[in-house]
Structure 1
């Protein structure tokens, strides 16, 4: 009978702790500690039935939640891991690119025929996601650039999807300059992409 009670308490304790989200190792440590205390106090006959019930109720009580580890800080990096050069909207063939579907990824930012966004801060938030703080302005307007945040999801080093906090989304992939229409092939972009 005493062996049965000695097994019942640790089993009840382990089941109760598991229900509360604690792991089995914690339950085993607790059960081992209780067995040692019983042996030390000379209680070889086990606990009385009321004590077993009390222990079972205590084990079933909700555990105090463990502290949740703080999220790791996003690492600030110098540049997006993308090839510099022309990027064309994903659904447009490189040879049919236009001002409306083409952007140029430079060392310091990205822009099209009418706008440019300077990268102010790039933080890696996941294996292939980046939070980019950028100052964007219209190249034909003298208004100061507006700062906003976009999330870039990078596929390899030749494609990305960017989602702005303002709601716009753009998916583009790298197009070698030699595959672009004649107007883009003739441009020397080495000073901004090198």
Structure 2
């Protein structure tokens, strides 16, 4: 079920939790999460794999995605609108809109319109297996965070 939720979010399928059109949202530059690796909540940090890891870079997730906008829907809910390039060498891009429920600066949940959920929490890089433990992400984790 976890993989389905991640795939659904990455492909830009509509997600639950969007506000009605008449309700105002606030544009922000970031969501209040620590920069670094997030691992699926049901997976140990030392058991992380490409299928269970997301890299938060301050304004969004993933190295192949550019965050177009971030909207604060409520004090704990944020919609990230991304444009992602094909990481398999294709020339196309995919636009997606994903709502994150942020429970702390180290945890979030994505809920799919089919009722599925993907929850993840922050893992220290040293706790993770290769190649995550040795990837140089210092430019990502040490960069000043944009103000929300």
Question: 1:168 offset after TM fit, Å?
Answer: 6.8
Which consecutive aligned stretches of 4+ in structure 1 deviate over 4 angstroms post-superposition? 164-169
Question: 1:181 offset after TM fit, Å?
Answer: 1.0
Matched, 1:151 2:99: yes
In the TM superposition, what are the counterparts of 1:82-93 in structure 2 within 5 Å? Answer: 82-93=33-44
Equivalent position SS for 1:103: strand
- 1:97 paired residue number: 48
- 1:76 paired residue number: 27
| Cα shift readout 1:122-150 (whole Å, capped 9, x = no counterpart) | 11111100111111233113232211211
Matched, 1:124 2:76: no
Greater RCO, CA 8 A, separation 6+: 2
Name stretches of at least 5 consecutive residues in structure 1 with no aligned partner.
1-70
Give the number of the structure whose alpha-carbon radius of gyration is greater. 1
Cα contact 2:31–2:58 (8 A) shared by 1: no
| Cα shift readout 1:24-53 (whole Å, capped 9, x = no counterpart) | xxxxxxxxxxxxxxxxxxxxxxxxxxxxxx
| Cα shift readout 1:66-101 (whole Å, capped 9, x = no counterpart) | xxxxx6521111011100100101100000101111
Change beyond 3 A, Cα 1:188–1:97: same
CA distance in 2: counterparts of 1:166 and 1:133, whole angstroms: 20
Q: 1:106 aligns with which of 54, 57, 61?
A: 57
- 1:28 paired residue number: none
Equivalent position SS for 1:79: coil
TM-score by length of 1: 0.56
Equivalent position SS for 1:155: strand
Equivalent position SS for 2:33: coil
Matched, 1:174 2:128: no
Bigger proportion of residues as strand: 2
Question: 1:119 offset after TM fit, Å?
Answer: 1.6
* Length, aligned pairs only: 122
TM-score by length of 2: 0.71
Bigger proportion of residues as helix: 1
CA distance in 1: counterparts of 2:40 and 2:54, whole angstroms: 8
CA distance in 2: counterparts of 1:137 and 1:159, whole angstroms: 26
